[in-house]
Amino acid sequence: MPTVVLSSGSAGQSFTGGQTEFEVEATNFRRLVLELERRFPGLGKQVEESMAIAIDGEIFQDAYAAELKPGSEIYLIPKIGGG
Amino acid sequence: MAKTYVSTTINGESSEFLCETQQTLLDVLRDVVGLTGSKEGCASGDCGACSVILDGRLVCSCLVLGVEAEGKTVTTIEGIANGEKLHPVQQKFLEHAALQCGFCTPGLIVATKALLDENPNPTETEARYWLAGNLCRCTGYDKVIRAVMDAAAELRGETVG
Amino acid sequence: MNYVDSGLKVVGTRPIRPDGADKVTGRAVFAADTRAPGMLWGKVLRSPHAHARIVSIDTSKAEALKGVLAVVTAADFPDIRSEEAFVGEGPMNFRDLALNCMARDKVLYEGHALGAVAASTQEIADQALALIDVTYEVLPHVIDVEAAMAPDAPILHDDMFTGGVDPKPTKPSNVAKVVTFKKGDIEAGFKEAEVIVEGTYTTQPVHQAYIEPHACLATYAPDGQIQIHSSSQGHFMVRAYTAKLLGVNLSDIRVNPAEIGGGFGGKTLVYLEPLAVMLSKKSGRTVKMQMTREDVFRASGPTSGAWMEVKIGAMKDGTIVAAKQVLKYQAGAFAGSPIGPGCMCGFAMYDLPNVHVVGYDVVSNRPKVAAYRAPGAPITSFAVESLMDDLALKLGIDPLTLREKNAAKNGTKTHYGPTHQNIGFTAVLAAVKSHPHWKTPLKEGQGRGLAAGFWFNIGGESSASVHVNEDGSVTAATGSPDIGGSRASIGMMVAEVLGVPATTVRTIVADTASIGFTHVTGGSRVTFATGMAATQAAEKVVEDLKRRAAQKWDIPVEAVEWKDGAAYPAGSNAGAFEPLDLATLALKAARTGGPLIAEVSLNAQGAGPGFGAHICDVTVDKETGHVTIDRYTAIQDVGKAIHPSYVEGQIQGGAAQGIGWALNEEYIYNAKGQMENPGFLDYRVPVASDVPMIEAVLVEVPNPRHPFGARGVGEVPIVPPMAAIANAIRGATGVRLPDLPMSPPKVRAALDARK
């Protein structure tokens, strides 16, 4: 099961009571969101709408199918825009 | 308010129009005559995007009244090329990629022509100070100045083929 | 398919851009260049007060004025409930966007729009504005970020409770949220450190200062069909935001992308379009609106001003063991400063074991900030890169060596979590070391500064279609407005895939009804994401061409290869057929299956981050405090330069904006919170005589996720300049300037204070 870390200390933490690392049984980003929403209501929506996922260093934004492997390093960080 | 009838020469052609006294030459060119190549960037003479040549003198057309064009000759960006043939300044701007968004480009090209008409052999410093009245936010001026110096050389007949 | 190591014939060359002739002859059409029969001029009524309640608005006299055909206020727009969306650049709260476009109940900054008129001439429109009677209850205002955080500060929003704080506060505040990033153990890190340096820094808000003011035309037809002609960084964003603010269907709006005269992030949202549409609806005519330069400064988004504190601890050999930063960013009147990226970018270039960063998003009575080239990063890097220089000085280590020693490499874990992969920072630093500028001896009185920079770059949704016309020429259409020459690079990638010269491909920007959804031109994404879509579309066309050749030759399609713009039998076994070029196959397209077209829409992932390092030599006039930039070199990892001239252009332009940010640009406010320098005379951007040639050095570490290896390049170059210049000034004078801009009076005062 991959371990997911909630990187931006504030936005997600208010749903999890301070916990920032989770083991999840999810093989892609969408399933991760569903599981986080199940465990911490409101968190999944927060993650999906305002966060990006970095899998083994590569940042994915708006990508349900982004694959999570058991050994992957997975971080949830704020979404990135640009100018 | 009654409009004023103005008779002038724009880009080598006779032109006549009616305009309000308070309308700037820039407004007249864009909204009355229909030459939209000169741009409004600030309407206060600080950015040079509206540059035209009035009786041989480089001016910000936003600081000139339309009625002041009476009996004078005006050269705008639309008059720089010779029909289909681009002026060397225009050609060099393209070759050197001296434009990105292109909004300041008409003003810069007109100002460059005015520079080279007066001083065919400017130094880089002279070119930079002459063009200091033409703001560009995209290029950092590097390729613009290269294009200007290269166009000057070509106009002097110095460019190796 | 990946072309990174293949022999490229078009990509990497410098053809003349396809829209070039239009741009140098004045023919290119920007939004303000358009007119329509019977059109009206729209103008905006703006608040003279920095903070006030709108007690009443009476538009009757304005409506009665001859020549005025429509007047609108907030009452004409839907009252949007709060909803976040990521359609433009950065999360956009639609309620805030709606209120920013048209104030309701309260005005929150000088210049805040609260009404608009449409009239037959500009003069009548101006007169009408003067006839709108507004009763204001002026409230105390606050401008600076620290003042806005003070306990007794005037509160802008009664419903703003600081997010990211536990327990949730009950008292409203001007702090919209707090964000925190941690790695390792910061206390332990500082205990271990042998040398500690710290500093406090401030930056002022600066405007993107595009030379073209915002402009648009809008037509609302009797059947509810809306046409908008607009200069923006994204016409799909214009469509989406306008639809949201007006409560209409997206399919009822068609947005035509006019040429855009600069954006840099400032045109990734709307100001005028919803107003123009509503005025058109009420008047039954096309309405044209353009901001004056004053309006642009008073009412469109600059980037944040900031207050920052940085502390770095290192061992005597230069290894950094602890890094701490507190950032307070100004969001303007509504929440949404780039505090997140600000917190992430400052230390992103370094491999640090213990990091603690805290950031505050703070509102104050200024225009709502908009994205500006690598939003948040230039500000944080000004502080971090200045302190790095002080650390190098204190350790007695060369500033380049200090960066090399701590540089992020492939496999470095960032402080915000993810591990860097396929990055080019060490290559950039090596290029600094070997560049003649770094070794050139300084003249008497000169100082040299070095600073580094980082930006994520983004991918996102793009659509592109490639059509082979009946004569074999090619049209490539995308949904990406061209701000800096992207038509050229898109066309070049298509030409490379098709194996034809760049001039065979004509690239256009298609409107919202004619091409698939495309995210904004920003975030350094177009060459990456739209380039990827265009490349894939061209590859589909090639597969189709091979199929048609196979059909003509009656051989299996596997036996056909495509190269240099023609189909060839793959090997002598396939048959001795003469090659079929693009023109020949295109002519017979109807018989072989129909038009030769492919469109690809994708959501590009894998945008690789960019790193840069700038070297700057300055001379400081000790009498006037004037800083002259004597020499400037900007080195950046660009992945693969598709059209090197336009890549260099991005680097030079970004550096020049950074130079202005460093030395001159700032907003000057009077005691009433009104901007005193809303024009280019006193808001001083760099002019041609302010800067030398800017040497752009392109380091190419290909991004494996792009077919040609491209990385975004546009934003990184604005990140290093301010610290590079501050460090150079310190080198020249021995004085550290921690407050931007480092304008002549400030430099002179600092030199005097040292005496």
Contact C230, C31 (CB under 8 A): yes
Chain-chain contact of C417 with A75 (C-beta, under 8 angstroms): yes
Classify residue B45: in a domain, yes or no: yes
CB atoms within 10 A of CB C455: 34
Residues of C in contact with B3 (CB under 8 A): none
Q: At what angle do helices B142-155 and B105-118 cross, to 10 degrees?
A: 40
C2: pLDDT strictly greater than 90:
no
Residues of A in contact with C650 (CB under 8 A): none
Q: Per the structure, how many domains does chain B have? A: 2
d(CA C724, CA C721): 5
Best mutation target among C456, C650, C716 (most A Cβ atoms within 10 Å) is: C456
C30: pLDDT strictly greater than 80:
yes
Angle value at C-alpha C486, between C485 and C487, nearest 5 degrees: 90
The pLDDT tens digits of the residues spanning C450-501 come to 999 999 999 999 999 999 999 999 999 999 999 999 999 999 999 999 999 9
d(CA C224, CA C81): 23
Q: What is the mean pLDDT of chain A?
A: 84
Q: What is the pLDDT of residue A47?
A: 86
| Coil, helix or strand at residue C385 | helix
Q: What is the pLDDT of residue A22?
A: 83
User: Higher-confidence residue: A50 or C750?
Assistant: C750
Q: Which two tokens stand for residue C85?
A: 């969306």
Residues B97 and B131 grouped into a single domain: yes
* C483 vs B42, B100, B145: nearest CB: B100
Classify residue B107: in a domain, yes or no: yes
Phi, psi of B96 (to 5 degrees): -90, 0
Q: Over pLDDT 70: what percentage of chain C? A: 99
Chain A residues with CB within 8 Å of chain C CB: 5, 7-11, 13-14, 18, 49-50, 54, 56-63, 66, 73, 75-83
CATH of the domain at B44: 3.10.20.30
Q: Per the structure, how many domains does chain A have? A: 1
Cβ contacts of C547-550, under 8 Å, gap ≥ 24: C547/C593, C548/C585, C548/C588, C548/C589, C548/C592, C548/C593, C548/C596, C549/C580, C549/C585
Q: What would you report as the CA-atom Rg of chain B, rounded to the nearest whole angstrom?
A: 16
Q: Give the CB-side neighbour count of residue C258, counting CA atoms within 13 A.
A: 27
Q: Which domain-ending residue is among B46, B77, B108?
A: B77
Chain-chain contact of B77 with C25 (C-beta, under 8 angstroms): yes
Interface membership of B80 toward C (CB under 8 Å): yes
C84: pLDDT strictly greater than 80:
no
d(CA B82, CA B86): 6
Model confidence band, residue C90 (pLDDT cutoffs 50, 70, 90): low
Residues of C in contact with B96 (CB under 8 A): 645
Chain-chain contact of C35 with B80 (C-beta, under 8 angstroms): no
The minimum CA-CA distance between C370 and chain A, rounded to whole Å, is 8
CATH of the domain at A10: 3.10.20.30
d(CA B121, CA A3): 68
Chains A and C make contact, 3+ CB pairs within 8 Å: yes
Q: Which two tokens stand for residue C638?
A: 């660009």
Which residue in C has a C-alpha nearest to residue B30's C-alpha? C33
C567: pLDDT strictly greater than 60:
yes
Q: Which residues contact C170 (CB under 8 A, 6 or more apart)?
A: C161
Residues B111 and B138 grouped into a single domain: yes
Angle value at C-alpha C199, between C721 and C151, nearest 5 degrees: 110
The pLDDT tens digits of the residues spanning C572-589 come to 887 889 999 999 999 999
Chain-chain contact of A80 with C458 (C-beta, under 8 angstroms): yes
Contact C622, C635 (CB under 8 A): no
Place of tokens 């989770």: A22
Q: Which two tokens stand for residue C641?
A: 């330069």
d(CA C352, CA C388): 13
Q: What is the mean pLDDT of chain B?
A: 96
DSSP code of residue C730: H
Contact C334, C368 (CB under 8 A): yes
Q: Which residues contact C289 (CB under 8 A, 6 or more apart)?
A: C41, C42, C43, C44, C116, C215, C216, C217, C218, C272, C275, C276, C279
How many interchain CB pairs under 8 A, B with C?
Answer: 185
Q: Which two tokens stand for residue C580?
A: 């079929």
Contact C329, C339 (CB under 8 A): yes
Residues B72 and B97 grouped into a single domain: no
Which C positions 287-346 lie with beta carbon below 8 A of chain B?
290, 292-293
The pLDDT tens digits of the residues spanning C295-351 come to 999 999 899 999 999 999 999 999 999 999 999 999 999 999 999 999 999 999 999
DSSP code of residue C755: -
Whether residue C609 has a cis bond before it, omega within 30° of 0 = no
d(CA C110, CA C50): 4
Chain-chain contact of C20 with B94 (C-beta, under 8 angstroms): yes
The pLDDT tens digits of the residues spanning C399-423 come to 999 999 999 999 999 998 889 989 9
Model confidence band, residue A1 (pLDDT cutoffs 50, 70, 90): confident
Classify residue B33: in a domain, yes or no: yes
Residues B146 and B117 grouped into a single domain: yes
Other chains touching C, judged by 3 or more CB pairs under 8 Å: A, B
The pLDDT tens digits of the residues spanning C620-631 come to 999 999 999 999
Of C407, C377, C402, nearest to C388 by C-alpha is C402
Count how many residues are written for chain B: 161
Model confidence band, residue A8 (pLDDT cutoffs 50, 70, 90): low
Residues B73 and B9 grouped into a single domain: yes
Q: ipTM of the predicted structure?
A: 0.97
| Coil, helix or strand at residue B96 | coil
Classify residue A83: in a domain, yes or no: no
Q: Which two tokens stand for residue C427?
A: 């290559």
C749: pLDDT strictly greater than 90:
yes
Q: Amino acid identity of C88?
A: G
Task: Give the residue-averaged pLDDT of C643-668.
Answer: 97
Best mutation target among A61, A62, A68, A72 (most C Cβ atoms within 10 Å) is: A61
Bridge partners of C366, per DSSP, are: none
d(CA C344, CA A51): 14
| Coil, helix or strand at residue C175 | strand
Q: What is the pLDDT of residue C554?
A: 93
Structural domains of chain C sorted by starting position, each given as residue range(s) with its CATH number in brackets: 20-28+459-603 (3.30.365.10), 34-139+212-261+267-299 (3.90.1170.50), 306-457+608-754 (3.30.365.10)
Of C617, C68, C726, nearest to C389 by C-alpha is C726
Chain-chain contact of B78 with C694 (C-beta, under 8 angstroms): no
d(CA C513, CA B9): 42
Q: Which two tokens stand for residue C145?
A: 């970020």
Domain around B132: 88-155
Model confidence band, residue B21 (pLDDT cutoffs 50, 70, 90): very high
Task: Give the residue-averaged pLDDT of C653-664.
Answer: 98
The pLDDT tens digits of the residues spanning C36-63 come to 999 999 999 999 999 999 999 999 999 9
Whether residue C341 has a cis bond before it, omega within 30° of 0 = no
Q: What is the pLDDT of residue A79?
A: 86
What ranges make up the beta strands (E) of C606-693? 610-620, 627-637
Q: Which two tokens stand for residue C523?
A: 């975030």
Q: Which domain-ending residue is among B55, B77, B99?
A: B77
Q: What is the pLDDT of residue A15?
A: 79
C561: pLDDT strictly greater than 90:
yes
Task: Give the residue-averaged pLDDT of C437-450.
Answer: 97
Q: Which two tokens stand for residue C660?
A: 């202005």
What ranges make up the beta strands (E) of C469-558? 474-478, 505-509
Rounding to the nearest 10 degrees, give the CA dihedral for residues C240, C243, C244, C246. Answer: 160
d(CA A52, CA A60): 6
The minimum CA-CA distance between B28 and chain C, rounded to whole Å, is 13
Contact C362, C139 (CB under 8 A): no
Q: Which residues contact C677 (CB under 8 A, 6 or more apart)?
A: C297, C667, C668, C683
Q: Amino acid identity of C429?
A: L
C86: pLDDT strictly greater than 70:
no
Chain-chain contact of C458 with A61 (C-beta, under 8 angstroms): yes
Residues of C in contact with A56 (CB under 8 A): 418-419, 421
Residues of A in contact with C421 (CB under 8 A): 56-58
Chain-chain contact of B132 with C657 (C-beta, under 8 angstroms): no
Task: Give the residue-averaged pLDDT of C132-141.
Answer: 98
Residues of C in contact with B95 (CB under 8 A): 16
B161: pLDDT strictly greater than 80:
no
CA distances from C421 to A52, A56, C324, C631, C705 (A): 17, 8, 24, 33, 11
d(CA C393, CA C670): 39
Residues B25 and B65 grouped into a single domain: yes
CATH of the domain at B107: 1.10.150.120
Which residue in C has a C-alpha nearest to residue A4's C-alpha? C417
Q: What is the mean pLDDT of chain C?
A: 96
Helix ranges, C132-272 (H): 145-149, 186-192, 235-246
C595: pLDDT strictly greater than 80:
yes
Domain around A25: 3-78
Interface membership of C648 toward B (CB under 8 Å): yes
Chain-chain contact of A82 with C340 (C-beta, under 8 angstroms): no
Interface membership of C684 toward B (CB under 8 Å): no
Residues B70 and B115 grouped into a single domain: no
Put simply, whether the predicted model's pTM sits higher than 0.90 gets the answer yes
Classify residue B160: in a domain, yes or no: no
Task: Give the residue-averaged pLDDT of C247-276.
Answer: 97
The minimum CA-CA distance between A3 and chain C, rounded to whole Å, is 13
Classify residue A55: in a domain, yes or no: yes
Q: Render the burial of B134-155: b for 16+ CB within 10 Å, e for the rest.
A: bbbbbbbbbbbbbbbbbbbbeb
Classify residue A71: in a domain, yes or no: yes
Q: At what angle do helices C235-246 and C273-283 cross, to 10 degrees?
A: 60
Q: Which domain-ending residue is among B77, B100, B117?
A: B77
Residues B11 and B70 grouped into a single domain: yes
Classify residue A66: in a domain, yes or no: yes
Q: What is the pLDDT of residue A11?
A: 66
Q: What is the pLDDT of residue A83?
A: 82
The minimum CA-CA distance between C39 and chain B, rounded to whole Å, is 12
Interface membership of B81 toward C (CB under 8 Å): yes
User: Higher-confidence residue: C90 or C404?
Assistant: C404
Interface membership of C32 toward B (CB under 8 Å): yes
Q: Amino acid identity of A55?
A: I
Q: What is the pLDDT of residue C81?
A: 80
C366: pLDDT strictly greater than 80:
yes
Q: What is the pLDDT of residue B160?
A: 57
Interface membership of C169 toward B (CB under 8 Å): no
CA distances from C541 to C529, C554, C583 (A): 19, 19, 13
